[in-house]
Chain A
Amino acid sequence: MADSDLDLRIWRGDAKGGELVSYRVPVTEGMVVLDAVLWAQANMASDMAVRWNCKAAKCGSCSAEIQGFPRLMCKTPIADYGDHVTVRPMRAFPLIKDLVTDVSWNYEVNKQIPPFTPSEKDMNTSEPWRMQQKDVDRVMEFRKCIECFLCQDVCHVLRNHDGKSNFYGPRFMVRIAALEMHPKDSLDRRPLLKGNAGLGYCNVTKCCTEVCPEHIKITDNAIIPLKERMDDAYFDPVRALIRRIGGGRKPKAV
């Protein structure tokens, strides 16, 4: 039985323009924003575009801006907001229709990151790889990412400064961190971090960490450790001297 009605305001339109449309939706106990949006779609706006899948905060499909803040619709209780809620599409990505945005840029970025590459020795061994729990714990946190792209949406470099040509965004810093800290990976991605990935564009204001529905400490555990690794290669004259004495050279940014 409905407890009360909700004034649900949904942004309707496409890349050419649109407007907020209000829907009166009956609220039931435990209702989340996605329930309300789907109710409006089923009963009042069958042409409304909304992307969703698991309804369990695990597929990362139903990302949107609820009262202006990036969240998963399926994980956001109506009770957090009172009697009216405004839902808009993610602002950092091109709009397709209503609440659906084109996030394909992220997949293009992903292709630019060199994948997991074990050493020759590990590649050719017939023995199973053995890794201690302490070696994989750190990386396991990054593997929780559900690719909802809320961190990409809230990142001010991508959102407010249109920095997609300069910075890969927090999601891909998490992916690079997972590869760089993997005990069996042999590649050095610091040149990429200094170059095309644009790690220097991040000014560690931690909004990505605030919005992550998987509670990954993106800034403290991925971005800052990567910045320190980049500093090892490019901003530490002591290490540069040691490297030079050992016959090594500074890796060239790509």
Chain B
Amino acid sequence: MIKKIILALLLLGIYQLAYKLLLVRFYLPSLLQIVNSLVTNFSTPSFYIDIFSSLQRVFVGFLVATIVGVVLGILFGYNKFFRNLRFYIELLRPIPPIAWIPIAIIIFGLGDTSSYFIVFLGAFFPIFTSTYFSVISMPEIYKYVAQSFEIGKFKYIKNVIFFYSLPHIFTGMKIGIGMAWMSVIAAELIGAQSGLGYFIQLNRLLLQTDNVVVGMLIIGIIGLLLSKLVDLIETISTPWTK
């Protein structure tokens, strides 16, 4: 913890030094300006609305991506017919979520649905991929044991495949939550009327760089907290890995 604080102070020192030496004060705010802006924004209700809007979009998009990613990952890993369709997933996977924004706006318009869709795309692929590879790499011994005890298909998927894959699913979710958060900001920069991405975009146009940095700072902190939240859920849900 002490090391982390020292490193943070060091980085802040470097920032302040760069601000002083490189004469970028017209473009970048000082540390004091950032702190003032932080206090001002936290006393403004609209700032909370922006944070809440982004969180809500991440929550909905990430939840749908988790459900769809896990279900399809298991289905594609378990069933040979679906496994042959993975070609199409692989075709879509390299397309960055930001490239979908124009298409999302055309289909869903300038609203929350477009953002949900972009967040979904950002989180879906890591969750799907982790789940899929976990299912196909499951040791054969578990399959044989399940067959020997004549465990039914549904029970096998629910009690064996799903729980074997759960730690790997969480790995995908940890990557996915980061991607979801990055995607929502990207979506809000272009196609939203609220949220932290919208807040940054608006302040960029108004040349209020102190607010832009505050927006970035809050994005980083919330991203970190979301990642820790997934860690916590993983610890509670997978006690056998302790």
Q: Are chains A and B native binding partners rather than an unrelated pairing? A: no
A binding-site residues for B, Cβ under 8 Å: none
B binding-site residues for A, Cβ under 8 Å: none
